[in-house]
Amino acid sequence: MSRAIVYLIAGAGPATSRRSVRYHHGCVRATGKRRPRIAYVGAAANDSRTFGALVRTLVLGPAADVVTVALTRKSTPTSAVRDDLAAADLVFFTGGDVERGMQLVDERGLAPYVRELAAQGKPMEGISAGAILLGRRWVRFPDGDARPEAFACLGVVPWSFDTHDEGDDWGELKTLARLLACSGDERLVYGIPSGGCALFEGGVVRALGKPLVRLRCADPPRRMTDVAPG
């Protein structure tokens, strides 16, 4: 069984506050260290320094021991990126744009290595788009009349997720559920509401703080009983 411990935090979009990301402390505890080294992967935010500073203030804390893993920095060899990930006690994926984040990860061929580290027991954490990245798939909406299509994410957690989209009744997650119903290799997808968190540990997903929305992949998608916190 995988030893992965993964915290998927919804945050609350622009209204994100320290309280809405309190689950970060659980991920820190999972490292077994009082002040763990955190590898901050800012790919989904295109390695924006401004965004990184905001996340450090709101989520990681200004006193955290953070090493920035910048995938857009072409002068940094992929071997050095892998070394930074391996040396960290916790790997954190920030929010932003899921597709851009995966593009940068795939350019470095890092997805299998990230899955390997998680399977070995290195705690991982994502907020918003970072939480989606740690799941199996997400959906892109091409311009014009092209149909939406699913694309692969990191696959550290063997299900797909959306975050803080309850105001739109999980419209994008429902689109993904329809697409995955056609492929036939995922049965369920999950929505993490604002201020909530999904914890993947021991091969199962648990809800923290708020219930997780659970949809069966079908056309149309079918809403199952929510996963209650506990």
96-121 per-position pLDDT tens digit = 999 999 999 999 999 999 999 999 99
Using alpha carbons only, how large is the chain's radius of gyration in Å?
17
Nearest to 173 by CA among 121, 135, 204: 135
Peptide bond preceding 220 in cis form (omega within 30 of 0): yes
Q: What is the pLDDT of residue 59?
A: 87
191-229 per-position pLDDT tens digit = 999 989 999 999 999 999 999 999 999 999 999 999 999
Rounded CA separation 4/24 (Å): 16
Cα atoms found within 13 Å of the Cα of residue 43, Cβ hemisphere only: 30
Q: How confident is the model at residue 85 (pLDDT cuts 50, 70, 90)?
A: very high
Provide the residue count of the chain.
Answer: 230
Look at 12-26, 31-45, 75-89, 109-123 and tell me which has the smallest mean pLDDT: 12-26
Domains of the chain, each with CATH number or no CATH: 5-223 (3.40.50.880)
Is 7 exposed, middle or buried (CB count within 10 Å of its CB: 0-12, 13-18, 19+)?
buried
Distance between start and end Cα atoms, the chain: 22
Rounded CA separation 173/215 (Å): 8
* pTM for the model: 0.94
Rounded CA separation 48/38 (Å): 17
What is the DSSP code string of 77-116?
A: -HHHHHHHHHH-SEEEE--S-HHHHHHHHHHTT-HHHHHH
Q: What is the mean pLDDT of the chain?
A: 92
Contact 215, 221 (CB under 8 A): yes
Q: 65-69 and 37-41: which strand pairing?
A: parallel
* pLDDT > 80? residue 5: yes
Amino acid sitting at position 213: V
* pLDDT > 80? residue 124: yes
